[in-house]
Structure 1
Amino acid sequence: MSDMSDSEGMAALRAAVIGVGYLGRFHAQKYTRIPGVRLVGVADLHGERAKRVAEELKVEAVEDFRALLPQVDMVSVVTETESHYAVVRACLEAGVHVLVEKPITASLEDADHLVALAEARGLILQVGHIKRFHPAVSALRESGWLSNPRFIEAQRFAPFKNRALDVDVVQDLMIHDVDLILHFVDSEVESIEAVGSGIFSGKIDIANARIRFANGCVANVSASRVARDATRRMRIFQKDALFDLDFTRPGLSIRRRGTGNWVLDGVTFPAIEELDVPLQKVDAMEMEVRAFCEAVRGGRPALVNGRAGRRALEVVMAIRAAIASWSES
């Protein structure tokens, strides 16, 4: 461990970021803001990019990430998806805890290997499903009112941007809602139907999937990266309530059955309680990185562990397969 200590006398956790493009640079910045953590360096195959971020944060810059592994306790891996397996495997084999951006890997076989490796070595493997840290999601969980969702409708639309084009919209955007739905629904996936098409990128740019669970819950999920305006919303329906999560405001509105009945024009119907839950705007990425550091420090499981990342990937791959089958029909 490092000879540097935090204010309580504990050895500071030493961190690095591998891949400091758009998202990786933010990861690096977050580590510098967390007490008890020291950012040691950044790595990127594009040496000039690594140097720019390193100079900004006054840390070491390298092109080969392996040079940093003996110096650190944990890393964020923010490289292209195709490289996740090789990079994360090298880090885990070096005894380093890993926060890897979603999706966990490009294949289920690779994900299984990384999960098994992390568990065998007693290391944290956290997957960057950042929406788990959104205040609306946290507030819904903490309310205790979500019990047995029956239908979920999710929409995640974004204008076209020249980034994250190494993956399609299912892996880039839809996976956020897939992970949340799997988090909310305590049941196994029974079947998946999906349609989708490429527009600008040569990959799937717009998609819709219908996910049926063994307990009867159905989720309808839409994603687009060719929309004119941004929309990020999820509605969850259960027997006695409707939860409306707006990821842009952020906001959480709840309509649920209240006490007693109302009478209007001679018609009796259940009383309805409407709540707009006040939410504070938070830095979800900083919360995600903090949670990773706390898991490493405290030896607790990650909030979004490798198995959760693997499950989201499995559903996403099934959606992509269903789209391919539909396209060929």
Structure 2
Amino acid sequence: MEMLKVGVLGTGNMGRNHLRVLSSMHEYELVGCFDVNFESAKQQAELYGIQAFRSQEELFDAVDEVHIVTPSFLHEECAVAAAKAGCHVLVEKPIALTLEAAQNIIDACESAGVRLCVGHVERFNPAITTLLEILKQEEVLSVDFRRMSPFDRRVSDASVVQDLMIHDIDVLNAIADSPVKRVVGQGANVYTDKLDYAQALVEFENGLLASLTASRITETKIRCAEINARNAFIAVDYLNRSVRISRKTNFTLDVGYSLQYKQENIIEQVFVPSNEPLRAEFQHFANCIQTGEPVATSGEMGKKALALCLEITEKAQLGN
């Protein structure tokens, strides 16, 4: 397959991660980058031996695919412009700040005949891809997500729901694959004028129940999910990339005297491959562009995650 010419729009912390990963992938030819802070773009361009463009339009003209890693309020403007220029678009999460803006991005990409991927990178965490494969064989009853972090002053333009919980919302939507029936939320503003701590309970039309907790006021880092299925309990640690499954068993060992050993469950320690999620995400999108296969984190999935994100935020603020 031909290498895709790719560029990165935005050279902040996340944009630099995109540049680092793309520069080492055989699927892509990293052409250049653009940032309104030209010195930042120039510094990154020199680091990777690529071009620092003076405008986003020049970048669009030079590439097949563009990664939009700008502040969220610019996603709509940049993604629509990239699509109209004929570029495939990978836009970081959230897809946009409003459902109308998200739909505008989706429509622009469809009209231009280009592919759209939303950067819900947690979906490509090997622990999550392993979990989703396991759940194809299970009847899921409930899911409990916890995503906790210490406070980071760099993130103040978005609530903890938009910043952190949205990762788990996307994974939850992939697991539930059902319309939302009811949402309950509560939260607290602690260090900013937006929610810094939030809890949500979500019920889906198919009966699945979910609880989600997100915090940026917790002095430790936690990323985990616990799934109750009809025949198993599954615990996932995103950070250590581990998946443990507990199952019922009726195993009894008769040792020939009055004492017997009885095991009530067995624990499976599932092998999880050691893949970098961002690299896996980019490989997936490149493959979708080349083969026409569906994008796992499509524009519609990004919009669906945003819709639930906005509803949880509204309920949490009202509860607060």
TM range (shorter): over 0.9
Partner in structure 1 of residue 234 of structure 2: 243
8 Å CA contact 1:244, 1:254 repeated in 2: yes
8 Å CA contact 1:155, 1:234 repeated in 2: yes
Q: Secondary structure at the match of 1:287?
A: helix
8 Å CA contact 1:82, 1:105 repeated in 2: yes
Aligned counterpart in structure 1 of residue 288 of structure 2, from 295, 300, 325? 295
Structure 1 stretches of 4+ moved >4 Å = 260-267
Partner in structure 1 of residue 123 of structure 2: 132
Question: Any stretches of 5+ residues in structure 2 without a counterpart?
Answer: none
Partner in structure 1 of residue 265 of structure 2: 272
8 Å CA contact 1:41, 1:59 repeated in 2: yes
Q: Secondary structure at the match of 1:150?
A: strand
CA-to-partner distance for each residue in 1:136-162, whole Å, 9 max, x for gaps? 111123335553211111100011113
Q: CA deviation at 1:178?
A: 0.7
Q: Percent identity, please.
A: 31
Partner in structure 2 of residue 85 of structure 1: 76
State how 1:102-181 maps to structure 2 within 5 Å.
Answer: 102-143=93-134, 146-181=137-172
Separation of aligned partners in 2, 1:247 and 1:12: 31
8 Å CA contact 2:10, 2:70 repeated in 1: yes
- TM-aligned CA distance change 1:190 to 1:262, over 3 Å: farther
- Structure 2-normalised TM-score? 0.93
Q: Secondary structure at the match of 2:207?
A: coil
- Structure 1-normalised TM-score? 0.91
Separation of aligned partners in 2, 1:282 and 1:171: 25
State how 1:8-47 maps to structure 2 within 5 Å.
Answer: 10-47=1-38
Partner in structure 2 of residue 67 of structure 1: 58
8 Å CA contact 2:138, 2:230 repeated in 1: no
Q: CA deviation at 1:280?
A: 3.0
Q: CA deviation at 1:282?
A: 1.9
8 Å CA contact 1:189, 1:214 repeated in 2: yes
Task: Give me the CA root mean square deviation.
Answer: 2.1
> Please, which moves more after superposition, 216-225 or 275-284?
275-284
Partner in structure 1 of residue 302 of structure 2: 309
Question: Any stretches of 5+ residues in structure 1 without a counterpart?
Answer: 1-9
Q: CA deviation at 1:122?
A: 2.5
Partner in structure 1 of residue 185 of structure 2: 194
Separation of aligned partners in 2, 1:144 and 1:161: 34
> Please, which moves more after superposition, 206-215 or 285-294?
285-294
CA-to-partner distance for each residue in 1:37-56, whole Å, 9 max, x for gaps? 21111011111111111110
Separation of aligned partners in 2, 1:224 and 1:63: 38
